[in-house]
């Protein structure tokens, strides 16, 4: 009888240990990423050699479309690009011939990176967040 109780207690402890060690770690600092998670409307700002705002839609296949408003030019410019399966953005604001390239990283609810326009010798940084739907 005593051996049965000890064995039962040991099995209970082992079972609890297994369940406590499985699953996700609530202390993870990096947000989970998938194109399905980030799909939807995003907005943010850019600064540096020019400044302004942008608003885009990210599709589940990684296509990015929208507009950016340049404070220097005082006009909206087309923003088009792609996000790969790892969250890396490759986009152009304006035209491919004389526009600015935007590169960076998307996570579940935040994004950031750099931009560069070699024709005008301008560059800077950008940040954004996923908009509420």
| pLDDT one-digit tens code per residue, 60-83 | 999 999 999 999 999 999 999 999
Region 41-130: CATH code: 2.40.128.120
Q: What pLDDT, on a 0 to 100 scale, did the predictor assign at position 3?
A: 54
Please provide the distance, in angstroms rounded to a whole number, between the alpha carbons at the two ends of the chain. 61
Summarize pLDDT for 11-51 with one digit per residue, the tens.
Answer: 444 333 433 444 444 444 455 679 999 999 999 999 999 99
Given the structure tokens 């931009």, which residue do they identify? 115
Closest CA to 129 of 36, 56, 47: 56
Q: What pLDDT, on a 0 to 100 scale, did the predictor assign at position 19?
A: 39
Q: Domain extents for the chain?
A: 41-130
Output the average pLDDT for the chain. Answer: 84
Over the Cα atoms of the chain, what is R_g? 23
pLDDT category, 133, cuts 50, 70, 90?
Answer: confident
pTM for this prediction? 0.75
Token pair listed for 95: 């035209």
């Amino acid at each position: 009888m005593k051996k049965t109780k000890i064995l039962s207690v040991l099995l209970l402890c082992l079972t609890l240990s297994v369940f406590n060690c499985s699953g996700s770690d609530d202390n993870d600092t990096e947000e989970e990423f998938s194109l399905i998670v980030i799909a939807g409307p995003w907005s943010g700002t850019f600064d540096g050699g020019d400044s302004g705002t942008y608003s885009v839609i990210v599709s589940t296949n990684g296509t990015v479309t929208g507009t950016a408003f340049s404070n220097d030019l005082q006009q909206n410019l087309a923003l088009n690009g792609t996000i790969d399966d790892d969250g890396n953005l490759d986009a152009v604001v304006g035209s491919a011939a004389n526009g600015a390239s935007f590169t960076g990283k998307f996570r579940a609810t935040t994004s950031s990176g750099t931009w560069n326009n070699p024709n005008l010798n301008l560059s800077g940084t950008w940040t954004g967040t996923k908009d509420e739907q």
